[in-house]
Amino acid sequence: MSDSDKKDITQEEAPENAKGITNGRNASETLNGKTKDDFDLAAVYVSDAQYNRNIFFDTTPEAIRLYLLYNHWVLRIVVYAFIIADLALAIFEDPAVIPLPIWATTLIELVCLAVFTVRLVHYAKVIPRERFWKDPKNICIIVIILLSLVDMLIYGSLKATGYFAVRWSRVLRPLLLVNVTEGRQLRRAFRSIRNALPQILYVFLLFMFSVLMFSLMALKLFGKKGLTTNDGGAYFNDYLEIVFDLYVLVTTANSPDVMMPAYNSSVFFAVFFIIYILINTYIFMSVFLAVVYNNYKKYLKEEVRQLVRAKRHKMVRAFGVLQERKGEEGPVVTQASWNQLVRLVQPDISNAHRELLWSVSDDSNKGCIGKVAFVQLADLLNMQVIVVKSRPHPLQMWLPSLYLSSPSRLICRMVRHRLFVYAFDLIILVNAVFIGLDEENPLIANAEWAFLALYLLEILLKLYTFEPRAFFSKHEFWNWFDTVIVISALIATIINSVLKSSGGYTSRQILDIVFILRVLRLIRVVDSIKRFRAIINTLIKIGPTILTFGQLIVVVYYIFAMIGMELFKGKIRFFDAESTDPEKAFCGNPLLKNSLFAKHNYCKNNFNNVVSSFILLLELTVVNQWHVLSSGFTAVTHVSARIFFVLFHIVVVIIIINIFIAFVLEAFFVEYTVDKSNLQSCLEKKIEELELGVKQDHLVGNLVDAMETDDNDMGTSESTKAKPALMFKIASKRYKTVDGLLQRMFEADLDPEDFAEDEDFDPNNPSNVTFPNPNFDSV
Amino acid sequence: MSDSDKKDITQEEAPENAKGITNGRNASETLNGKTKDDFDLAAVYVSDAQYNRNIFFDTTPEAIRLYLLYNHWVLRIVVYAFIIADLALAIFEDPAVIPLPIWATTLIELVCLAVFTVRLVHYAKVIPRERFWKDPKNICIIVIILLSLVDMLIYGSLKATGYFAVRWSRVLRPLLLVNVTEGRQLRRAFRSIRNALPQILYVFLLFMFSVLMFSLMALKLFGKKGLTTNDGGAYFNDYLEIVFDLYVLVTTANSPDVMMPAYNSSVFFAVFFIIYILINTYIFMSVFLAVVYNNYKKYLKEEVRQLVRAKRHKMVRAFGVLQERKGEEGPVVTQASWNQLVRLVQPDISNAHRELLWSVSDDSNKGCIGKVAFVQLADLLNMQVIVVKSRPHPLQMWLPSLYLSSPSRLICRMVRHRLFVYAFDLIILVNAVFIGLDEENPLIANAEWAFLALYLLEILLKLYTFEPRAFFSKHEFWNWFDTVIVISALIATIINSVLKSSGGYTSRQILDIVFILRVLRLIRVVDSIKRFRAIINTLIKIGPTILTFGQLIVVVYYIFAMIGMELFKGKIRFFDAESTDPEKAFCGNPLLKNSLFAKHNYCKNNFNNVVSSFILLLELTVVNQWHVLSSGFTAVTHVSARIFFVLFHIVVVIIIINIFIAFVLEAFFVEYTVDKSNLQSCLEKKIEELELGVKQDHLVGNLVDAMETDDNDMGTSESTKAKPALMFKIASKRYKTVDGLLQRMFEADLDPEDFAEDEDFDPNNPSNVTFPNPNFDSV
């Protein structure tokens, strides 16, 4: 069915409520003249709007079914699993952590590439051909796959003939993570960086000019003074060395050592370094943050605005598919269609929840909703409404006489009492002291059993008092945390003591796990203090966005690790503690004799496998001793190896870490300042009207308006009193998706009535090239 | 005259245009029935509004005259000079850089204290007595003066009897900088910090909890493994040591050394440190920045809002004093009164400038202005209007035939040509290469003369082409910069070569100055590149606010330096390069034998005098090697000395540096986003209407809207063409005061018609306790 056919149906036939239109489709299940295909199409639009997918799919029923399959979570997970497998190949390829023969890694890589190809072909079937070839991310994936194949061929043949060969295509692998359909956030982050680059470049050039000027001044001031560094070398008499030293000073890694010879010679020379640090370390680094932050915010804002527009487009299209004409009110969607749609979009939604959402949309109880109310659906579905079922305790059902007896009631009252929480906080603190003491002491070792018993007792008492399904509901993070930690600690402690008593053998690993679990248990104290809970909730909320940066970091680290491994593998060797090899003193490389690198015992910081590389890159990100680490690698190769390390510093520390800080700042400000959206207030009001709300005692004046801190108080709300069987509350501030947080950041700037009509929709904008609207029905 | 008298006049007499009211005042020079005292009073209000002074003075003529004297710039400078002298006493007091006898320093301090007392008494005369005793800053100064006197007495008598004595009151000295009347910005910064403290505290407690938890885990994981650090010590087996080490890791100062023993033992242990760094170094430190930034912004916003309200109050009061009733329009101020007022407020304003301001206020040319227009006056005066006088070149006047001859015109055209600038940029680059080369080479040494000659020639040519007074006008920063640098370099080079040729003696200091001047000359290149100029202009604009932070840093450093000197003076000694003292290897303290501190040759980083202390504190602020520096001082005293260093880190790095970053970020965002104010557009429009504007070719698309970058192009505008003799342009974005920048930051939130009527003015708010409005006439 062509687009124009589609348009005809929605525009002409739908208003007439014509029934039984088959028109070549599966018309078996019709509702108000809509076929199942119509509902499928609308559901796809709504679901795309909900998850901000901007894929321009064919609207034929077959393409929609293929598209639904394409978006299926199993397939998405499979793709990610194969990307991870592809990336993880670095562990097994030379230089390997666990060496595998070349044919094995090649085979795995071929399988991965095959999966990516199949996924791409699937995608090509879903969207129109000309769209497919216009989309740069598809081209990217095709190029990566082809280059990988070429590289494998070259590498294999060179290796077979005994030549030296480099697996250069490994650098491309992390780009798959960026170009895969689901990598929207990551692509957006990269686009933001790319857009900010020109401005960063100008500041960077000015900054480098400043460093070069100061270096020239340093050369003239200190070069002829005959000063020596702490290890006896000449001080500041080579221009390029000075530039490097002063660049390192910007990272603060060689402060104050680089200044000491001059300072020892005269106090006035310290002024030079103070001015340098003030200008280059403090002011320029702050300016970098300001420029990165400002650009990031600006472009992100624009992109999110486009995203919100696209979302509304899709909802309007879904409306166009399902609309009917009813009376004088213009096109509407009936409750029956709406119910059918919501059931398709979110099969696991409870009836009560769905009815609640409907009552919010259809505020005046007309049985049908117009476009404005319909468009809210995506946002309504994204709002996390927690359905609280008020059920009696199972024990009350099975043994009512016992459970309702006065001792039992006393226990329940006791457990619910504030003192119960305080008592266990005290126990945790005592436990902390015991953990700190020597565990060889038998008294202490036995005390551990007592503590475990107490914690178990606490959980059992709570389960006795509170309804177990409510206690272990999805949102009760701390209950889950407690139970998992206590039970794992119990199991690990039992295994440990069994091992000990049976053979006198203590497994170091199990003991370590026991220790970690014991200490983790102490975290519970934080949960008792409301203000801490509020801070932690904010941190948890920015978690998903930190994950996007995790991916960004992985991509950048992976590329640098691959290059670093090719450049530096095997140059520095690590000898473990038992080794008596004389080469141990200089990391197996005579060029490192008496070097600071060897003196600091940094031999394990090498590029000999992908794990060490990642840890080394992390150390370089932390920056301290950056110059000592890089000096080791320049010593064993060539002074130009510094380029690699400086480049890493610029990319990771100046750009990516600043974007990370910018994102945390922005996320915190959103948590501080953004009020509830209108829609959310509507939903809350409705819940209150229906008297289905859970009483929330807001904790005002905390770090953030601690909307959610009573999530974990749920278990303590008295469930035995007469209340509606079903209650709702909004986990208002916890948006499901990263996009949700981003949209909330900028939604204040968006007009809720702005439906992004065609006139202000720019198809030339690359950010929405995957979502134009050829068959958009302006109603 | 009492407040109620004043009210009577402004409310009743003024509207009737009653003439010759003497009422006990000096009525010699009246204008429209206003006495000179009225004008004085109004001028004081306007000037207070202009500079945001919130002093509640008596409105009697005598008090006003005293108040004018109090605000006189000479007295203000004298007070600051004595504060600096008081602070500088630390250089001469034990432990001294330049020792002076106790009687001398005591005498100087007594003089300083006397000056502060006189200033305070003067202040007490200006404001009503009950106000004086309510103001905490006056109480502070009195307490500081009294405590200083007590301390001097105790110290003197103890010293005289040979006992050990501590000059503890020296810690209080920098507080004078905060509590002096002019220290508004500094007080505001301190108030912002104080207000943000509770929230910072909660995050800090959570952060410390996290550090303690990780330390406990580290103790259990690594304590019994028998690992050793690089220098052979036991690794992670003492809880408090672990806490300290992990705290240091947050500052990144001991990364990756603290991790290496565990990492060498097993790769998995690196995971512990990675998680630690991620949570505590990256996330918590970002959260600190977010909390500090957010609170700072929030409270500052509130304070600046109060400030703007107070400014409008004062302007309304000034209006009340000068108002007359004219026709049906309600109270107005006539042009004559207005002129008189402006002349009093800003005696150096040119007539043309004043008329321009009047034409902006009185847009419809009525000869009088109402309240709304009058209130703008303070902002109008704050706007920097540059008056450009279009004058012919003096040579044209003296030697018209020569100056207007065709060779002369050719020179002028040449100098104005773009290539002239490029040619000199090229010369500068060549010069840079020559500077980098060895100056012992006679060719290079002589080339320097050639370069100096070229630069001089450039300045002379420019002076020949452009009008000298325009070339050296107040706003032509780069012209001044060039000339000063070239001329000083010339003088220094001549002195140097005279010294050299006369006695063969080369003064190292003069040579150093010559080198610095030569390199500074190269900065000129930056000015040729527009984008760089834009960035630098932004940096220059945030300069004044950086100065406020400079004061903040001085206050905090001074306090820590005083305490540090009492705690650590003489414990670590520095031996210069020639010294062969065996104690040199351990900084004169056997406790430092084989310590890292001595190995790094950090002996000069000590608290033996105030200059070393400040440099050491700066090194501690940069944080790198923080643990090595502090370890030296704990080694020579006690492990509890760490408290001093940790406290310094928390105060300076976590709080103050974050506020600094917050301020730079905010200032940059303002530069990025704030458009011109309405008033400014009015002024610009008026200048354009009158055809008095200087053609400005805006450089759009730079880092910031580069309004001012053509400041330095002024000289190149062709002044010989027929143009009005007088032109204006607005140095729009360069606000005179820090307050101006702050107000611009937040002015978007303020309604221009909001006159801060009494009802929403909270006299209980401590931030405006010095400015209530008892006789505010609501018109």
Instruction: Tell me the two tokens of residue A145.
Output: 């796959």
Instruction: Report yes or no on A410 lying in a domain.
Output: yes
- Asked if pLDDT for residue B531 goes beyond 80, the answer is yes
**Of the candidates B504, B528, B552, which is a domain's last residue?**
B528
Name chain A contacts of B604, Cβ cutoff 8 Å.
260, 263-264
A322 and A450 share one domain: no
From A230's Cα to the closest Cα of chain B, the distance in A is: 7
Number of A/B CB contacts below 8 angstroms equals 213
Contact at 8 Å (CB) between B415 and B462? Answer: yes
Mark whether B517 and B545 lie in a shared domain. no
Contact, A683 vs A385, CB < 8 A? yes
Please answer yes or no on whether B532 and A206 come within 8 Å at the CB atom: yes
CATH value at residue B506 = 1.20.120.350
| B623 within domain boundaries | yes
Q: Which of A56-70, A259-273, B465-479 has the highest mean pLDDT?
A: A259-273
Question: Which of A150-164, B367-381, B707-721 is predicted with the least confidence, judged by mean pLDDT?
Answer: B707-721
The alpha carbon of residue A523 is apart from the nearest alpha carbon of chain B, in Å, by 8
Q: What pLDDT, in 10s, does the model give residues A403-459?
A: 888 888 888 888 888 888 888 889 888 888 888 877 677 777 788 888 889 999 999
Residue B162: DSSP 8-state: T
pLDDT grade for B10, boundaries at 50, 70 and 90? very low
Closest B-chain CA to A431: B216
CB contact under 8 A, B294 and A668: yes
pLDDT reported for residue B376: 80
Give the pLDDT score at B721.
41
**Residue B715: which region, alpha, beta or left (left: phi > 0; alpha: psi -120 to 50)?**
alpha
pLDDT bin (cut points 50, 70, 90) of residue B718 is very low
Residue of A nearest to B238 (CA): A436
Top mean pLDDT of A176-190, A302-316, B144-158, B190-204 is at B144-158
What DSSP character marks residue B52? T
Nearest-neighbour CA in chain A from B284: distance (Å):
9
A599, pLDDT greater than 80? yes
Cα nearest neighbour of A669 on chain B:
B294
Contact B293 A665 (CB under 8 A): yes
A256 belongs to a structural domain: yes
Q: Which CB contacts under 8 angstroms, 24+ apart, belong to B402-405?
A: none
Q: Which residues pair with A56 in a beta bridge?
A: none
Which tokens in the block code for residue B422? 């490029």
pLDDT above 90 (res B148): yes
Q: What is the DSSP letter of B369?
A: E
Task: Say if residue B322 is in the same domain as residue B198.
Answer: yes
Residues A640 and A638: their CA atoms lie apart, in Å, by 5
Least confident of A113-122, A167-176, A579-588: A579-588
Highest mean pLDDT among A19-28, A681-690, B192-201: B192-201
- At B21 the pLDDT is 38
Query: What is the pLDDT confidence band of residue B207, given thresholds at 50, 70 and 90?
Result: very high
Contacts of B252 in chain A (CB under 8 A): 622-624
Residue A32: pLDDT above 90? Answer: no
Mutation target among B97, B271, B286, B428 for the A interface, most CBs of A within 10 A? B286
Least CB–CB distance from B615: residue in A216, A270, A624: A270
Statement to judge: residues B278 and B144 lie in one domain:
no
Q: pLDDT exceeding 70 applies to what percent of chain B?
A: 81
Q: Residues A205, A146: one domain?
A: no
User: For helices A184-222 and A543-568, what crossing angle results, to 10°?
Assistant: 60
Residue A558 pLDDT more than 50?
Answer: yes
Query: Which residues of chain B have a CB within 8 Å of the CB of A625?
Result: 255-257
Domain boundary (A612, A647, A673) is at A673
Q: What is the mean pLDDT of chain A?
A: 79
CB contact under 8 A, A436 and B277: no
CA distances from A667 to A152, A383, A678, B12, B535 (A): 43, 18, 20, 57, 27
Chain B contacts of A576, Cβ < 8 Å?
A: 264
Please report whether residue B37 resides in a domain: no
pLDDT digits (tens, 9 = 90+) for B39-70: 888 888 988 888 878 888 888 888 888 888 88
Same domain, B322 and B219: yes
Tell which residue, B12, B39, B45, B15, has the closest CA to residue B25: B39
pLDDT recorded at residue B40:
85
Show the tokens assigned to B608.
């033996």
Distances (CA, A) of A682 to A335, A386, A709, B764: 19, 16, 21, 38
User: In A, which residues are within 8 Å of B657 by CB distance?
Assistant: 282
Residues of A in contact with B668 (CB under 8 A): 287, 290-291, 294
* Local confidence band at B731 (pLDDT 50, 70, 90 cut-offs): low
Cβ contact, residue pair A625, B216, below 8 Å: no
pLDDT band at B298 (very low <50, low <70, confident <90, very high): confident
- How far does the CA of residue B183 sit from the closest CA of chain A (Å)? 23
Same structural domain, A551 and A510 = no
Disruptive mutation site among A526, A604, A663 for chain B (greatest number of B CBs within 10 Å): A604
B522 with A216: Cβ contact below 8 A: yes
Please name every residue paired with A726 in a beta bridge, in sequence order, or none if there are none. Answer: A389
Greater pLDDT, B174 or A527: B174
pLDDT tens for B396-433 read 888 888 888 888 888 888 888 888 888 888 998 888 88
Contacts of A444 in chain B (CB under 8 A): none
Report the mean per-residue pLDDT for chain B. 79
pLDDT digits (tens, 9 = 90+) for B259-276: 998 998 888 889 999 999
Chain B residue with the nearest C-alpha to that of A523:
B213
Residues A126 and A224 in one domain: no
| Partner-chain contact A615 B274, CB within 8 Å | yes
Asked whether residue B42 is domain-assigned, the answer is: no
Can you give the pLDDT at residue A153?
A: 92
SS3 (DSSP) at B174: helix
Task: Point out the least confidently predicted range of A241-245, A411-415, B115-119.
Answer: A411-415
Q: Two tokens at A460?
A: 């059992």
Nearest Cβ partner of B213 from A274, A439, A523? A523
Say if residues B215 and B243 touch (Cβ distance below 8 Å).
Answer: yes
The predicted structure's pLDDT at residue A174: 93
Distances (CA, A) of A23 to A19, A30, A35: 11, 13, 10
Nearest to B624 among A252, A546, A657 (CB): A252
Question: Chain A residues with CB inside 8 Å of B221's CB?
Answer: 512, 515-516
What residues of B are in contact with residue A618 (Cβ under 8 Å)?
274, 277
Residues B550, B631: one domain? yes
The Cα–Cα gap between A417 and A642 comes to 63
The amino acid that residue A565 corresponds to is M
Chain position carrying tokens 């509130």: B302
Domain end residue (candidates: B484, B505, B528): B528
A76 versus A537: the higher-pLDDT residue is: A76
Which band of pLDDT confidence, cut at 50, 70 and 90, is reported for residue A764?
Answer: very low
User: Does pLDDT of B589 surpass 50?
Assistant: yes
pLDDT at B401: 83
What phi and psi values does residue A585 have, to the nearest 5 degrees?
-65, -25
pLDDT band at B84 (very low <50, low <70, confident <90, very high): very high
- List all residues 6 or more positions away from A547 whose beta carbon is below 8 Å from its beta carbon: A738
Residue A348 counted as domain residue? no
At residue B222, what are phi and psi to the nearest 5 degrees?
Answer: -110, -20
Over residues A377-405, mean pLDDT: 78
Interface contact flag, A619 B255, Cβ < 8 Å: yes
pLDDT over 70 (residue B756): no
pLDDT at res. A703 = 33
Quickly count: other Cβ atoms within 10 Å of residue B164's Cβ.
6
Q: The domain containing residue B91 runs over which residues?
A: 72-179
Judged by CB atoms closer than 8 Å, whether chains meet at A664 and B618 is answered as no
Within a domain: B700: no
Supply the pLDDT for residue A765.
39
Instruction: Kindly report, residue by residue over A618-646, the tens digit of the pLDDT.
Output: 999 998 888 899 999 999 999 999 999 99
Q: What is the pLDDT of residue B7?
A: 37
Residue B647 has pLDDT above 90, yes or no: yes
A556 and A581 both lie in a single domain: yes
The domain total for chain A is: 4
pLDDT(A525) > 70: yes
How far apart are the CA of A286 and the nearest CA of chain B, in angstroms? 6
Determine the pLDDT at residue B267. 87
pLDDT of residue A718: 40
Are B623 and B519 part of one and the same domain? no
Q: B577 and A265: CB-CB below 8 Å?
A: yes
**HSE toward the beta carbon, residue A511, CA cutoff 13 A:** 18
The shortest C-alpha distance from B664 to chain A (Å) reads 7
Residue of B nearest to A231 (CA): B600
**pLDDT given for residue A7 in this prediction:** 37
pLDDT of residue B748 exceeding 80, the answer is no
Gap between the Cα atoms of B181 and B175, Å rounded? 12
Kindly state the average pLDDT of the residues A380-394: 74
What confidence category does residue B704 fall into, taking pLDDT thresholds of 50, 70 and 90?
very low
Q: Which pLDDT score, from 0 to 100, does residue B720 have? A: 39
> Contact at 8 Å (CB) between B121 and B127?
no
Same domain for A662 and A564: yes
Average pLDDT (B356-381) is 82
Are A601 and B264 an interchain contact pair (Cβ–Cβ within 8 Å)? yes
Region B486-503 average pLDDT? 84
- φ, ψ of residue A389 to 5 degrees: the values are -90, 125
Q: Which of A97, A206, A649 to mutate to test the interface with B (most CBs of B within 10 A)?
A: A206
pLDDT of residue A390: 67
Strand partners, B693: B728
**Residue A94 token pair:** 């030379």
pLDDT at A329 over 90: no
The answer to whether position B624 is within a domain reads yes
Q: Indicate if the pLDDT at residue A85 is higher than 70.
A: yes
Which position has the higher pLDDT, A47 or A733? A47
Q: Which residues contact B513 (CB under 8 A, 6 or more apart)?
A: B488, B492
